[in-house]
Structures are given as C-alpha cells and as structure tokens.
Homo-oligomer: A and B are copies of this chain.
Amino acid sequence: MTTSSPFLPIKCGRVEEINTQEENLTKPMPNLHIMDPKLLQSMVYDALVWSSLHGLVVGDRNIQRSGKVPGVGMVHAPFALLPMSFPESHWRQACELAPIFNELVDRVSLDGEFLQDSLSRTKKVDAFTSRLLDIHSKMLQSNKKEEIRLGLNRSDYMLDEQTKLLLQIELNTVSSSFPGLSCLVSELHRSLLNQFKEQLGLDSGRIPGNASLSQFAEALAKAWKEYNNPRAVVMIVVQTEERNICFPQLCNTYDVSTIRKTLAEIDEQGVLLPDGTLLVGDHAIGVIYFRAGYTPNDYPSESEWRARYLMEQSSAIKCPSISYHLAGTKKIQQELAKPNVLERFLDNKDDIAKLRKCFAGLWSLDDSSIVKDAIERPEFYVMKPQREGGDPSSGNNIYGDDMRKALLRLQEEGTEENAAYILMQRIFPTIAPSLLMRDGICHKDHAISELGIYSAYLRNKESVIMNEHCGYLMRTKVSSSNEGGVAAGFAVLDSVYLT
C-alpha cells in the first residue's frame, strides 16, 4: 500500500530534472490517532454543532425528498475533523500555477483546430465528446467568437511522497464543485484550532484563507457586468436533483438575479433572439454557469443537447463555453504534456517551465513502449477515460490487474477504443493518520489528500479583467481506497495546515 514510485517519466513533456523542493516540515500535525478520547469526543461534538449552525450541510441521499426539496433531509457534509498538513512551498507553487493554467486554457480554447485534431480519434469512440465536438464544429463553421470569456477552473494536485513533487491530477473547467463547502471546512478547522488551542497546540493562522465561493461569485458578477444588460440574469444550469447550492451572494452582494434551470427546461423555454440574446422564460440571460452538463447522464435525450447548442449559439457568457469544456478534457491534458506543445500557446519560458514541473507522466495509448511497460508494471500507472467525470472521486479510473487486462484486450482487438483512454503516471501521496467524519461518526484511518486550487479568469475583447487563484478544495480519503489517488473512496472535505 505504501509503495513509492521509483519511476521517472521517459517520453512525456515533463522537464527531466527532478528538483526536489526543500522540505519545510517545521510544525507537523500531531498524530491524531493517539488523541485523548475525551478531547476527541468534545471536538467531534463541537464540530458537528458547528456544521449545522454554519450550513456545512448536504442533502442526505438516504432521505428521498432531500434532493428535490431544499431544507429537508439534511446531514453534515463529510469532513475531516482536523486539517491536513501540507508544505508551504508546495502550497505557494500550486497558487502560482493557477493564473498560468487559466491563461493556458484560454489560449487553447481559441485554437479550434488544435482541439478538433487532438480529439479526432477520441471522437470516434466516445459519443459524449463527439457531441461536444459537433457543437464546437458548428461554432467554428459559423465563425462564432466568444469575446467575453469566463473560466472558473480547479486544478487538482497530489504531492508525490518520494519525489516531493506537486503533480497535477487534472484540470476542471466545468462545474468545479464544492467551493462553498470547502470555505466552510477551513472556517470550521480554524474555529476548532482556536477553541482547542491549549490541547492541540496548533496555530489557526496556518490554515490559508479560503474565499473561493465569494470570489467565484465576484467573477460571475463581473462577467454579468461585462455583458452589460442590467435586466439580464445569471442562469445556473442544474441537474434535476441538485444537492449543492450555489451563489446566494450574487443577489445579496451584487444585486444580480439568478435563475436555475435544467437543460430540459432550457430546451422548453429557451428562445434565441436575432441579436443573439438568449431568453429563458421572461429572462434575458447574461451569464450561464453550468452545474450540470459535464456528464452523459445529464443528456438523457436530444432535448438536452438542443439546449446546450442553443446556449452556445447565444451571446450569453458561458461558464464554460464548449471550447473551455473541451480544453479541460484529459486528452487535451495529455496532448499539452507532449514536448513543444505548451510553446504553441504560451510565450513566457518561466511559465512553461512551471507548468511542466507539475505535469505527471501522461501518454496516449498508441505509445506502444509505454503500454508494454504498463502491462509489465501496472502498479506504476493508471488508465483514465478521457471523458470528464466531474467528480474525480467518481471512480472511472482503472488500476492494477484490471488495467493490465484492459490493455491486453485493447492490444488484441486492435480497435480504435484505445483512443477513449489515456495513461498516467501513478502518484503515491503521503499517507497520514486522519479523522474522517461521516453521518455523525468519526472514523480513524490512514488517509491521503488531494488539493484543488480554484481560479477565476475573465477577459473581454480588450484585456484580462480577472486572473487569480480564489481558494482551494482539500479532499482527504482513506488510503486503502487509494488506487492512484483519484479512485472512488470515502472522500471527505478537508483544509490545509501549512507546515
């Protein structure tokens, strides 16, 4: 389980030099598993009370009405009782990467040819990506330009235990979830560290501020302002069962109205005016924020695809546009990791070097020497479907013996199906004792963490209006469920304790 990777990527775009970042573990977390039981009990109680008083709650999937009616059948969101330690230097590195990735996504989104070419083989085997590419093609044909572009992204990282490298897992350009809950967990942990200061001896000031929700709201409000129609609203595209609730501050702080619509409702109620204005019901739509639409499940019929196409044709600012959506796919991530590809989009050599440094090994399945190695040493690779799953814990990845068999089958069949996957270096993050809260119960276990950095990007025809990191999402899960860091497992919300 605790195997570390002895492995250096060979044929990927990563810089060869392994410049191990200096360790700075001056104030480590105490071993949470040897905590006084009474103290633990008090902390658990106070944390649960805190969660219900501060809205750190989600709909309980065990209660039927919880998804349909807000305010009923609620339970605290799963959370770690205490923050996870994380080296400050890596933290800074992750924050510095955010605006560079924002810029990269924006540049890639403008290169329609690159997107179409890179995904051309995927198109044949992945019906979902194929539909997205069709809409993208139509936009290219009609020469539709997105002049105001809004990206609310999240780049996910793990810290490789042996090399001490911060390695990117994936970049999400669509529905980067949990910004609200992640802020609350940071607040909860700060509150607990203050309350149990004497007993824990930890400094709440070492938990970085986390304003992702308010900064996402600010970005949406600024985008709305750029759209420049005071009567327009922000439309949030939701799944039929929407459990996570977003951006009440748009109305309260920025006086911007929001409406929520499912894709089916948008198809039913949406009209495109000749000037490009999208009307849904009585509302002109200024900005569209997708909380749905990132998975094939969100498109059960042609109706949903019509809605997506309708929105894309409109002048509304889409977060994300089809181009941004495609730029965040794993296939594009893998293409960008190839030598000399970043140089196609970025000029600044420092920026390019910084991005390369965080790239894990990433390969297409038509790289036969890598496939051969992965069959021989499956423990050092993970096979990922190209399709975005939204929640990286959703467990679509393939590991170990399953991966070996899948690769062998693909080799044998010689079909195009291998274009539906990429191979990635398997990362072995630090394992630490952790206390995981779910359903009111505290589980002691050994856990690993994944750090997501939220970032916002907004520009108009003339210039960049916003390009910054906005906060973070720390997710911690039981390490026995670790199949490379992004497998299904008992993941809880966490925060960062800088060491």
User: Are B75 and A52 in touch, CB under 8 angstroms?
Assistant: no
Q: Which residues of B contact A76 (CB under 8 A)?
A: 71-72, 74
Q: Which residues of B contact A194 (CB under 8 A)?
A: 251-252
User: Are B195 and A251 in touch, CB under 8 angstroms?
Assistant: yes
Q: Which residues of B contact A73 (CB under 8 A)?
A: 60, 75
Q: Which residues of B contact A75 (CB under 8 A)?
A: 71-74
User: Are B52 and A57 in touch, CB under 8 angstroms?
Assistant: yes
Q: Which residues of B contact A222 (CB under 8 A)?
A: none
Encode contact with B along A45-72: 1 for CB under 8 Å, 0 otherwise: 1111111111101001001010001111
The 8 A-B pairs with the shortest beta carbon distances in the complex, nearest first, are A48-B71, A71-B76, A69-B440, A53-B55, A48-B70, A72-B440, A74-B74, A49-B70
Q: Which residues of B contact A52 (CB under 8 A)?
A: 55, 57, 70-71, 74, 245
Encode contact with B along A230-265: 1 for CB under 8 Å, 0 otherwise: 000000000000000100100110000000000000
Residue of A55, A70, A180 ringed by the most chain B CB atoms within 10 A? A70
Q: With A48-B70, A51-B70, A53-B55 given, can you name 13 additional A-B contacts, CB distance below 8 Å? A: A46-B248, A48-B69, A49-B71, A52-B55, A52-B57, A52-B74, A52-B245, A54-B55, A63-B63, A70-B440, A71-B75, A72-B440, A195-B252
Among residues 20 to 64 in chain A, which have CB atoms less than 8 Å away from a CB atom of chain B? 45-55, 57, 60, 63
Report the copy number of this chain in the oligomer: 2
Q: Which residues of B contact A245 (CB under 8 A)?
A: 49, 52-53
Residue of A54, A71, A180 ringed by the most chain B CB atoms within 10 A? A71
Q: Does A191 contact B (CB under 8 A)?
A: yes
Question: Which chain B residue lies CB-closest to A55?
Answer: B53
Q: How far is B45's CA from A71's CA once the two chains are assembled, in angstroms?
A: 9
Q: How far is B89's CA from A451's CA once the two chains are assembled, in angstroms?
A: 56
Q: How far is B46's CA from A191's CA once the two chains are assembled, in angstroms?
A: 28
Among residues 334 to 393 in chain A, which have CB atoms less than 8 Å away from a CB atom of chain B? none
Question: Which chain B residue lies CB-closest to A42?
Answer: B259
User: Are B70 and A439 in touch, CB under 8 angstroms?
Assistant: no
Q: Which residues of B contact A70 (CB under 8 A)?
A: 45, 48-49, 51-52, 440
From B71, B191, B440, contact of A71 by CB (8 A): B440
User: Are A53 and B195 in touch, CB under 8 angstroms?
Assistant: no
Question: Which chain B residue lies CB-closest to A52?
Answer: B71
Q: How far is B5's CA from A479's CA once the two chains are assembled, in angstroms?
A: 71
User: Are B50 and A248 in touch, CB under 8 angstroms?
Assistant: yes
Q: How far is B70's CA from A482's CA once the two chains are assembled, in angstroms?
A: 30
Q: How far is B52's CA from A302's CA once the two chains are assembled, in angstroms?
A: 34
Q: Which residues of B contact A60 (CB under 8 A)?
A: 72-73
User: Are A439 and B72 in touch, CB under 8 angstroms?
Assistant: yes
Q: List 25 A-B contacts (CB under 8 A).
A: A45-B70, A48-B69, A48-B71, A48-B72, A49-B70, A49-B71, A49-B248, A50-B248, A51-B70, A52-B55, A52-B57, A52-B71, A52-B245, A53-B55, A54-B55, A57-B57, A57-B71, A60-B72, A71-B76, A72-B76, A72-B439, A72-B440, A194-B252, A195-B251, A195-B252
Q: How far is B191's CA from A70's CA once the two chains are assembled, in angstroms?
A: 17
Q: Which residues of B contact A74 (CB under 8 A)?
A: 52, 57, 74-76
Q: How far is B63's CA from A72's CA once the two chains are assembled, in angstroms?
A: 11
From B45, B65, B248, B439, contact of A53 by CB (8 A): B248
Q: Nearest Cβ distance between residue A256 and chain B, in whole angstroms?
A: 11
